[in-house]
Amino acid sequence: MTGPPYPHPDPAPGSTGIGDFIIGVSPIGTIAAFDVWATVLSQYANSPRLTAMIVSFNEAMDQTANFDNLYDFIWNITTATGYGLDVWGRIVGVARTLTLPSGVDYLGFGEAGSSWTGFGQGGFYSGGGISPNLVLSDADYRVLILAKAAGNISDGSIPALNAILMRLFPNRGDAYVVDGLDMSLTYTFTFPLAPVELAIIQQSGVLPNPAGVVVNISSP
């Protein structure tokens, strides 16, 4: 037996919908509130004491809002913030905090490692100063997490690496990989890299580094 379809709310103009969910309009992950009255038989619906007990219990035990927040702020990478993104960072293996290269050479001797230079080439060290550590914002960290996740499942091919570069540096210019054909590859950028971008490339581990391959960076 056939009949007319069940009615449902009309979607917003210019969009399509599935039942109560309107594509492009309705937020993903929003859970409809539990209808406590669906549990009450009609013969008890007019009992004020019984309905008060049911409503009070539902208000105390209903986890709809908590599940909704769990999905939006932690589970869904596109909407996660703060602690949720920190969890995702630990899962894919990339930190939110990076150390910016100082680019400053100080007067010193060989015992200082690689951060020293000779007379007339560097100044005296004046103390610790401001920490070079940078904590990425949620927006920047989300991009880094998605790029690291892509790198984790990447096959290491040049097209895959180029796709990760374009995700990390959108609308900045050309960024691509050059195979040196001598067990080396070069990440080539046609635009200058900011200190934070250089730190992402050198420290975050987001760009795959094949075993036994020397990785170089070329930027104006």
Residues 156-179: pLDDT tens digits? 788 888 888 888 888 888 888 888
Task: State the pLDDT confidence band at 89, using cuts at 50, 70 and 90.
Answer: very high
Structure tokens belonging to residue 200: 């992402």
Query: What gap in Å lies between CA 207 and CA 94, rounded to an integer?
Result: 11
CA nearest to 147, candidates 133, 134, 166: 166
**Structural domains counted in the chain:** 1
Give a yes or no: residue 111 inside a domain. yes
Give a yes or no: residue 220 inside a domain. no
Q: Which residues of 10-35 are buried (b: 16+ CB within 10 A; e: fewer)?
A: ebeeeeebeeeeeeeebeebeeeeee
Percent share of the chain, pLDDT over 70:
70
Give the pLDDT score at 88: 93
In the predicted model, is pLDDT for residue 208 greater than 70?
yes
Give a yes or no: residue 112 inside a domain. yes
Give a yes or no: residue 61 inside a domain. no
Give a yes or no: residue 219 inside a domain. no
- Torsion-angle region of 93 (φ positive above 0: left; ψ -120 to 50: alpha; else: beta): left
Give a yes or no: residue 79 inside a domain. no
Give a yes or no: residue 154 inside a domain. no
Task: State the pLDDT confidence band at 128, using cuts at 50, 70 and 90.
Answer: low
For all residues of the chain together, what is the average pLDDT? 75
115: domain range?
Answer: 97-135
Give a yes or no: residue 106 inside a domain. yes
